[in-house]
Amino acid sequence: MRSIVLAVCLFIFAPLASAQEARPISDAEQFAVTSAVEDFLYGASVNDVHAHDVFWAPELTYTSSSGVRFGKSQLMEGMTDTTMIPEDEVTAWYTAEDIELKAFGPSIIINFTLVSTDVATGNRETFLNTGVMVERRGQWQAVNWNATRTATPQTAD
């Protein structure tokens, strides 16, 4: 009986013992992932459909700051009638600040503050973004993404 209980415990708890620890990120990985995000944000600023298509993985799960969850196909459907905006007509630039990367196996988790800067007023709106990135054929893509509006001091818990 004791050996059955031991076997069941090992079966249940063995996956926990093999949980991956964070691994070091190479300079090349850090550059590639950061560049992929920055290139995407530039593309999002100028309404580049191709930038979205390259950045988002086919099996993407995206949770928006408004609490809506959807996949890449829904995201791309929302861009079917868009055209690229010339740089001098962009109304808001998207940039990343406070980038933090954590690697686990072949995946890299990215946390950063997305900043939307209004060109006319200079006003900044910020969102906390977290993504899970995987490399495919030399291109880092997001398979999971969460965007959260940054709390203001009055709404912070």
**Which strands sit side by side in the sheet containing 124-136, from one edge to the other?**
69-70, 56-63, 139-149, 124-136, 107-118, 92-104
Residue 126's nearest CA partner among 141, 115, 140, 138 is: 115
Q: What is the pLDDT along the chain (157 residues), one digit of tens a residue?
A: 565 654 544 455 445 445 568 899 999 999 999 999 999 999 999 999 999 999 999 999 999 999 999 999 999 998 888 899 999 999 999 999 999 999 999 999 999 999 999 999 999 999 999 999 999 999 999 999 999 998 877 655 5
Each domain of the chain, given as residue ranges in start order, spans: 25-149
CATH assignment, 25-149: 3.10.450.50
Neighbours of 128 (CB within 10 A): 16
